[in-house]
């Protein structure tokens, strides 16, 4: 199709990637976000090879390599620091054809903003949508109205447009744990600089992975009831949760900057049975917020953007037809990832303690290539093989 105008709500990973992809395909795009200033939520993200391949398709592969960390291995350790498994990621890279990149979210956001050939319209909170046979109109709190041939609702886990598409309220589900994340200077007394180090024990997890400019993106996971009162002294809180854990974990707690550390209650959405209504398409977390335990939520948003663009480009049967094809392909893929990530979140965080103990034992005995094959399977089930 030619001469389409697309209104995108949300300038997160999903909205920006989609905006870039649509503009490269020759479509007119307007992106709107409610915030006055774009700041990524969270410190870092691991982009697995399927996400990186989307960026390759958009001509951003080289830039991604500059901002991504060199992650050659994954090391699982017990809470007291004994090595459970040391996994070479090269077989994975060879199987899928692209290395994964952990990256600081500010770097990723800046790269995407630089690549988007236009301005994001900030301070525009979308409050509703109207459709007729000719097009769709986004309505904003400030009185602005944006008209397009289609609307992409990339407005995140608390999407207000999800209700319009599904015709019912679907609330995010609590993923049973709290995650603290941030960045620290990389140093060998914390972890090898080319490795993703993961400490596991007591249904908790501590992770450090390298990102550009000699930093580690770190996170801590602790299973806690939803709504557990926040101790604003994150360092003291983490010192208590991880008392007795290995020396690098203690050093990490000492070195993290509490004011730059994020605390998130993990939630997911779905699987939902619709992603599209008429000329409106949900994309990214609005449709399928995913527990971060597979590192796939952002990667799925990127895949969504590319697949949507391709269906719009390759049909002459109209916008609604293209969106139906998008929905049919993406609903299945993303629903499976949401479910798999939730099962993994539950396994890691002791929802059934026997299953978590079994996982700890399995980690010690597992052939490293079984681990890389399992990751490859998730990656290769996407649109880019």
| Cα–Cα distance measured from residue 293 to residue 203, given in angstroms and rounded to the nearest whole number | 13
**Is 281 buried (19+), middle (13-18) or exposed (0-12) by CB count in 10 A?**
buried
List residues near ligand FAD by CB under 6 A.
Answer: 9-15, 32-35, 42, 45-47, 51, 125-126, 154-156, 160, 179, 181, 264, 284-285, 292, 295-299, 301
Q: Give the nearest distance from C-beta 285 to ligand FAD in angstroms.
A: 4
For CA atoms 106, 44, 243, 254, the dihedral sign is negative
Taking the C-alpha atoms of residue 378 and residue 358, their distance in angstroms, rounded to an integer, is 22
Indicate the residue among 84 and 345 with the shorter CB distance to ligand FAD: 345
> For 124-150, b where at least 16 C-beta lie within 10 A, e where not — what string?
bebeebeeeeebbbbebeeeeebebbb
163 or 385: CB nearest ligand FAD: 163
Distance CA 68, CA 350 (A): 31
The H or E element containing residue 377 is: helix 368-380
> Smallest gap, in angstroms, from Cβ of residue 112 to ligand FAD?
10
Shorter beta-carbon distance to ligand FAD: residue 290 or 310: 290
- The smaller minimum CB distance to ligand FAD, of residues 12 and 201, is found at 12
Minimum CB distance to ligand FAD, residue 121 (Å): 9
Nearer to ligand FAD, 155 or 329 (CB): 155
Distance CA 140, CA 124 (A): 6
Give ∠ CA 23-25-29 in degrees, rounded to 5. Answer: 30
CB of 369 to ligand FAD, least distance (A): 22
Q: Least distance (Å) from ligand FAD to the CB of residue 3?
A: 25
Min dist. Cβ of residue 330 to ligand FAD (A): 13
Nearer to ligand FAD, 1 or 153 (CB): 153
């Amino acid at each position: 199709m030619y001469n389409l105008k697309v209104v995108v709500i949300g300038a997160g990973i999903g909205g920006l990637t989609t905006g870039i992809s649509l503009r490269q395909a020759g479509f007119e795009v307007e992106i709107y976000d409610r915030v006055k200033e774009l700041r990524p939520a969270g410190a870092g993200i691991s982009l697995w090879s399927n996400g990186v391949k989307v960026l390759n398709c958009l001509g951003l592969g080289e830039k991604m390599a500059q901002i991504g960390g060199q992650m050659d291995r994954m090391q699982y350790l017990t809470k007291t620091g004994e090595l459970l498994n040391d996994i070479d990621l090269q077989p994975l890279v060879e199987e899928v054809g692209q290395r994964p990149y952990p990256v600081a979210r500010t770097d990723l956001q800046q790269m995407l903003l630089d690549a988007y050939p236009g301005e994001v319209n900030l301070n525009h909170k979308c409050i509703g949508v109207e459709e007729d046979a000719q097009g769709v109109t986004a309505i904003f709190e400030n009185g602005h109205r944006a008209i397009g041939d289609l609307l992409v609702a990339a407005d995140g886990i608390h999407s207000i447009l999800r209700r319009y598409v599904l015709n019912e309220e679907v609330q995010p589900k609590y993923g049973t744990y709290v995650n603290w994340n941030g960045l620290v200077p990389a140093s060998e007394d914390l972890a090898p600089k080319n490795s993703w180090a993961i400490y596991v024990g007591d249904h908790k997890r501590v992770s450090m992975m390298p990102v550009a400019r000699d930093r580690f993106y770190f996170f801590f996971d602790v299973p806690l009831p939803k709504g557990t009162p926040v101790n604003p002294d994150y360092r003291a809180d983490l010192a208590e949760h991880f008392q007795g854990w290995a020396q690098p974990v203690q050093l990490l707690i000492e070195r993290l900057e509490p004011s730059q550390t994020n605390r998130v209650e993990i939630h997911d959405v779905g699987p939902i049975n619709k992603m599209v209504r008429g000329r409106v398409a949900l994309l990214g977390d609005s449709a399928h917020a995913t527990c971060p335990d597979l590192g796939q939520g952002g990667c799925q948003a990127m895949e969504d953007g590319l697949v949507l663009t391709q269906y719009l480009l390759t049909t002459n049967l109209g916008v609604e037809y293209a969106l139906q094809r998008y929905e049919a392909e993406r609903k299945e893929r993303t629903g499976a990832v949401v479910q798999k990530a939730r099962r993994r979140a539950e396994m890691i965080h002791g929802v059934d303690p026997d299953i978590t103990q079994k996982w700890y034992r399995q980690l010690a005995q597992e052939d490293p290539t079984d681990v890389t094959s399992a990751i490859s399977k998730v990656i290769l089930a996407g649109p880019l093989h």
